[in-house]
Structure 1
Amino acid sequence: MQRDEDEDAVWRSIVDNYGERPALDGEAGAAAEPAAEPAAETAAEPVPDPESTPEPEPDWFSSTSVDPEDRFVPPPAPPLPRPTRDRLFAWLGVFGSPTVLLVCLVAGISLPRLIAYLLVASFVGGFLYLVWQMPRGPRDPWDDGAQV
């Protein structure tokens, strides 16, 4: 027990003496040392408090605050690539077949067994076709896929 109390005392002294401690709201009045009295000011005008006169913030959403020359207008986006017919059917099999099966299951529609097997086969066939058509090697050995 004596050793635990010694360790606690050592840790307490480390924590108490670690770095500068910020003055908290409750400790500000009690812990603050009295400052030296400032010399009599010779200026007749009082110094305005910066918090009492806030500066107007710019209106970021107003179109009048931005010059038309400073606006960035991106170029038109390139058209979406069109998949070939065989890949389109493969993607329809991968996404369409489970969607049809799920909708029928939730709606309580019973499909004939042959159609259900064809939907499952189209999913598996589409998946296998897309995997088979994947490129075998990297396009460029130094290409990590990032584009700017």
Structure 2
Amino acid sequence: MTPQSDEDEVWRQIVASFNEKAEDASADQPWPDRENVAVEAGPEDDDAREPVDEPQDEAEDEPEGSVEQADDEGHYVPPPPPPLPHGDALSRLAWVALFGGPAYLLLAALMTWPMEGWIVFTAVAAFIGGFVTLVVRMGDGPPPDSGWDDGAVI
């Protein structure tokens, strides 16, 4: 037999069993009792459905403080975040210039204030100066405490 004929035979078996229903080994296994849901029967279907017995909750016998602990068990509570850095005066001034220049121009346009040439120039220069200052001060180098071997640095 050639390898091609073995492959053809396997394909024929796959095609022949395509419409057959697969046997599920887990179909006969019931789910755990804790996943049973109680069915509330309405007045019209009292006879049609039987309520499922729910397991008794063990927490009912415990005091309230331990119930809250049981509810919180397994939930991650993150620590409080560190305070935001205040930054130095130059960085704060750069942020004010970055947003203040366009904000003034927008406000002056909405309020129809007269805008002389030097005011517009100052607002645009403040925006550009703030942007350039922040980009130059970004510090895209490695941190000073990283040591001599940074690993893979891109």
TM-score where L is the length of structure 1: 0.48
Task: Flag the structure with more relative contact order, 1 or 2, with Cα contacts below 8 A and sequence separation at least 6.
Answer: 1
